[in-house]
Amino acid sequence: MPASNASKTRLRLWQAALFVAFLAVWHAMTSPTLLPPLYFDDPNKAAFFFGEPLKVFERIWAWFSSGYIYSHLWVTLLETIMAFVVGTVLGLAAGLWLALSPTASALFDPYIKALNSMPRVILAPIFGVWFGLGMASKVALGVTLVFFIVFFNVFQGVKEVSHTVLSNARILGASDRQLLRHVYVPSAMSWVFASLHNSVGLAFVGAVVGEYLGSSEGVGYVILQAEGTFDINAVFAGILVLTVFALLLDWAVTLAEQRLLVWQPRGGETEKI
């Protein structure tokens, strides 16, 4: 086995061991029979406030075996994807426009900064009134989170285009449309792909927070219902499901990034040329 593969395998084993150790500590701290009461006078209170890992995994198994969770996961996935796509497209278009239009950029600069500084979570109730408690309000909240990440990356990416490259392209007779297609957009897309992980993560956060604040479906709704009945094991089960779901989304983004950025030289390759 190559050294790199061996080191990766060793890293995965250590990561798995750390996760198992965390579960063991969690189980010991919430079991009334394994440890004496440390924080609570009544050892059963620990299980009430922090849940029990075995019951949490039992709840997750029941959700998946019965098929209860699939429809909620599907709703959250659709909301995340739509927020990510719409926010990325709008951020790309607005970033290109303002970066290539100094007058419009100067005009809208204070408003962009003001909107970016606004806590977007407070918009969730407003979107609920405007679009209802369905998927549209969650997508709108996710778009507001994704838009600014993509916008500022695209704006900066266009501003970072080499003036030498632009001058050479113009000397060769490139039109404004050709400059946009072959120079500005590739430069901006490099910055967009660099922020893909943050963008999809924020789209996911927007969907879940919107569901949590008001919805009738989605994993955030499942957690909200569990909190309403003081079912702490179901709450932690929903959190674990969301965590795994987020990791899978991040893994999918990593695969897409590797495929879409194959044209970029890897570290050190440019120095070898």
Sort residue 52 into left (φ over 0), alpha (ψ -120 to 50) or beta.
beta
With a CB cutoff of 8 Å and minimum separation 6, the contacts of 38 are 29
Domain-located, residue 70: yes
pLDDT of 20 above 50? yes
Contact assessment for residue 30 and residue 50, using Cβ atoms and an 8 Å cutoff: yes
- Shared domain for 215 and 144, answered yes or no, is yes
Tokens, residue 137: 């309000």
Q: Work out the widest C-alpha separation in the chain, in whole angstroms.
A: 80
Three-class HEC string of 2-63: CHHHHHHHHHHHHHHHHHHHHHHHHHHHHCCCCCCCCCCCCCHHHHHHHCCHHHHHHHHHHH
SS3 content of the chain, % helix, strand, coil (to 5): 80, 0, 20
Q: How many domains does the chain have?
A: 2
- DSSP 8-state class, residue 266: P
- Shared domain for 159 and 225, answered yes or no, is yes
Domain-located, residue 272: no
The confidence band for 260, taking pLDDT boundaries of 50, 70 and 90, is: low
- Shared domain for 191 and 114, answered yes or no, is yes
Residue-range definition of the domain harbouring residue 152? 53-265
The number of angstroms, rounded, from the C-alpha of 84 to the middle of its chain's C-alpha atoms is: 9
- Shared domain for 24 and 66, answered yes or no, is no
Output the average pLDDT for the chain: 77
- Shared domain for 26 and 102, answered yes or no, is no
- Shared domain for 46 and 159, answered yes or no, is no
Model pLDDT for residues 177-228, shown as the tens digit of each residue:
666 666 666 776 767 777 777 788 888 888 888 887 777 788 888 888 887 7
Question: 95-99, 159-163, 224-228: lowest mean pLDDT where?
Answer: 159-163
Tokens, residue 216: 């009738």
122: domain CATH number is 1.10.3720.10
- DSSP 8-state class, residue 230: T
Q: Give the span between the Cα atoms of 156 and 197, in whole angstroms.
A: 18
With a CB cutoff of 8 Å and minimum separation 6, the contacts of 63 are 69, 237, 241
More confident residue, 229 or 145: 145
- Shared domain for 81 and 32, answered yes or no, is no
pLDDT of 71 above 70? yes
At residue 270, the pLDDT reads 38
3-state secondary structure of 103: helix
